[in-house]
């Protein structure tokens, strides 16, 4: 996509999808997290629960996306971006429904099936994108823009259909119109909905501000860096989603076990977050060179900043799920509201002067402060403790790996060829896990329990 569209075209692609994200966020209503909790804590009436949640999510997504498409007409965007928003809305509807179904897979610890749906859908998308890249080029790049967004929507449809089929293996759900139950759902869900809405607004608002204040070229550069972040944080989201049913059950029945599961989960997150941050900062310029080529080389700088945000979000995913398991979502609203206010204020101050670098560091600051606040809430309610000793060992091993990589690839602003980047990544992993093993920073039995369960 980056090579076909260039900085400006990829900026338009990024703007269209970021704009739609704001409206699909509004349609979430906290339904995904609440359905996961409801299914995890109850043993009867599961088809009724799933059917009503599914219907409510469908209608909410359709309503808000239609508003989004209409609202785009009044924004100072080009005709290409507005058309792209209309095409992309179809895909966002299916992605919204697919996200809700994750709650069923999380309950039954069957995330391998949703992973299969993702791989098939994205694999088909990659294949068609390559065909467009190979055969649709020339003086009309907006045609490629429309095709890329259409293919993204088609991939979302494939993912949803497969997820729907797989989910019905466990719960035979369909459409449900129990309006009294809807009222109960919305009454419980509104704090979760508000928290998620605030979280994802500050997660996406920087791109929207960039699209208003700076040329689409800057949005394209930032979009490449942000795509790396969005791809990486999918993994802790999946892991935390798997742990949420267990945390929810323990929070309701066995707080001592909740603390133990949370502690071990935090350790797993730390083991993988630290090397990703350290290695990512060193290899950022090489990564964006693979993604976008020389035209997007300058995206290495914002990506270095965003790798710090990636590490923080790794922990934030787990903390956010624990907040819901402990029924602390009302108190967490204030943390997310503070995050939105801070993020908007800092973006308005720093984007005009520092463009995408201002947006990147604002993301880091916002994520860090919110994670601190969420941990304080969890500790206050559940008295959780952290495995500080092993966390420090993981940080040390990551720092050592980063120093070795830095001298091996110096200067880091000169991108490595693809083969050397693969070797450097694998070598960094060996150095990190080898060092972690030497300093006894891994709990083999604990990790085995987490990954097998």
Are residues 170 and 110 in contact, defined by beta-carbon separation less than 8 angstroms? yes
pLDDT at 236 over 90: no
Mean residue pLDDT of the chain comes to 86
The tokens describing 112, both together, are 């391998």
pLDDT tens readout for residues 138-159: 555 567 889 999 999 999 999 9
Q: What percent of the chain has pLDDT over 90?
A: 32
Distances (CA, A) of 376 to 133, 280, 327: 49, 28, 15
Point out the least confidently predicted range of 102-116, 194-208, 231-245, 372-386. Answer: 194-208
| The two structure tokens encoding residue 138 | 């020339």
Instruction: Evaluate if residue 445 carries a pLDDT over 70.
Output: no
Q: For position 140, what pLDDT does the model report?
A: 56
Angle at 334 between CA 331 and CA 339, to 5 degrees: 140
Tell me, what's the pLDDT at 361?
Answer: 93
Maximal C-alpha separation, the chain: 64
Residue 124: pLDDT band with limits 50, 70, 90: very high
CB count within 10 Å of CB 443 equals 16
> What is the arithmetic mean of pLDDT over 360-370?
91
Dump the DSSP string for 115-173. Answer: HHHHHHHHHHHHHHHHHHHHH--SS-HHHHHHHHHHHHHHHHHHHHHHHHHHHTTT---
pLDDT computed for residue 451 by the predictor: 55
Mean pLDDT of 182-208: 77
Determine the pLDDT at residue 448: 61
Q: What is the pLDDT of residues 41-69, one digit of tens each?
A: 777 778 888 898 899 899 989 999 999 99
Read off the pLDDT band of 390 (50, 70, 90).
confident
Per-residue pLDDT for 443 more than 70? no
Question: In the chain, count of helices (H) and strands (E)?
Answer: 15, 0
Q: Long-range contacts for 105-110 (Cβ within 8 Å, ≥24 apart)?
A: 105/163, 105/166, 105/167, 105/170, 106/36, 106/40, 106/241, 106/242, 106/244, 106/245, 107/36, 107/39, 107/40, 107/170, 107/245, 108/170, 109/242, 109/245, 109/453, 110/166, 110/170
pLDDT of residue 110: 85
Q: Give the per-residue pLDDT at 397.
A: 92
**What is the band of 163 on the pLDDT scale with cuts at 50, 70, 90?**
very high
User: In which region does residue 6 sit, left (phi positive, over 0), alpha (psi from -120 to 50) or beta (all else)?
Assistant: left
Q: What is the mean pLDDT of residues 318-326?
A: 84
- With a CB cutoff of 8 Å and minimum separation 6, the contacts of 317 are 233, 236, 237, 239, 240, 269
Q: What is the pLDDT of residue 136?
A: 73
- pLDDT band, residue 37 (cuts 50/70/90): confident
CB 269 within 8 A of CB 350: no
Q: What is the CA radius of gyration of the chain?
A: 22
CB atoms within 10 A of CB 123: 12
User: Does position 350 have pLDDT exceeding 60, yes or no?
Assistant: yes
């Amino acid at each position: 996509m980056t090579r076909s569209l260039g900085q400006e075209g990829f900026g338009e692609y990024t703007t269209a999808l970021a704009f739609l994200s704001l409206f699909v966020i509004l349609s979430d209503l906290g339904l995904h997290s609440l359905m996961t909790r409801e299914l995890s804590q109850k043993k009867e009436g599961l088809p009724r629960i799933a059917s009503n949640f599914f219907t409510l999510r469908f209608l909410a997504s359709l309503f808000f996306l239609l508003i989004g498409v209409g609202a785009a007409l009044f924004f100072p965007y080009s005709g290409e971006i507005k058309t792209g928003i209309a095409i992309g809305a179809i895909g966002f509807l299916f992605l919204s429904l697919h996200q809700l179904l994750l709650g069923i897979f999380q309950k039954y610890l069957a995330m391998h099936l949703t992973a299969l749906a993702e791989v098939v859908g994205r694999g088909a998308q990659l294949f068609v994108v390559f065909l467009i890249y190979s055969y649709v080029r020339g003086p009309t790049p907006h045609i490629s823009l429309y095709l890329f967004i259409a293919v993204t929507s088609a991939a979302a449809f494939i993912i949803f259909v497969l997820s729907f089929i797989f989910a019905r293996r466990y719960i035979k759900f369909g459409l449900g119109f129990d309006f009294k139950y809807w009222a109960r759902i919305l009454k419980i869900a509104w704090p979760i909905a508000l928290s998620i809405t605030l979280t994802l607004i500050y997660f996406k608002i920087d791109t929207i501000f960039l699209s208003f204040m700076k040329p689409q070229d800057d949005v394209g550069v930032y979009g490449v860096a942000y795509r790396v972040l969005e791809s990486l944080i999918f993994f802790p989201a999946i892991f935390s989603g798997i742990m949420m049913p267990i945390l929810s059950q323990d929070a309701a029945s066995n707080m001592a076990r909740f603390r133990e599961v949370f502690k071990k989960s935090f350790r797993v997150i730390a083991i993988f977050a630290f090397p990703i941050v350290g290695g990512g900062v060193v290899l950022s310029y090489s990564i964006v060179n693979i993604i976008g080529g020389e035209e997007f080389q300058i995206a290495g700088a914002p990506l270095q900043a965003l790798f710090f945000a990636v590490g923080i979000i790794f922990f934030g995913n787990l903390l956010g799920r624990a907040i819901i398991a402990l029924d602390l979502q009302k108190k967490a609203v204030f943390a997310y509201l503070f995050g939105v206010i801070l993020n908007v204020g800092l973006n308005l101050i720093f984007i005009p002067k520092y463009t995408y670098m201002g947006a990147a560091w604002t993301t880091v600051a916002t994520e860090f402060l919110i994670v601190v606040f969420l941990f304080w809430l969890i500790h206050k309610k559940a008295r959780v403790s952290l495995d500080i000793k092993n966390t420090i060992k993981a940080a040390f091993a990551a720092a050592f790996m980063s120093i070795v990589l830095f001298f091996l690839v110096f200067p880091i602003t000169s991108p490595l060829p693809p083969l050397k980047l693969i070797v450097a990544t694998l070598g960094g992993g060996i150095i990190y896990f080898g060092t972690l093993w030497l300093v006894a920073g891994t709990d083999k039995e604990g990790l085995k329990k987490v990954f097998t369960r």
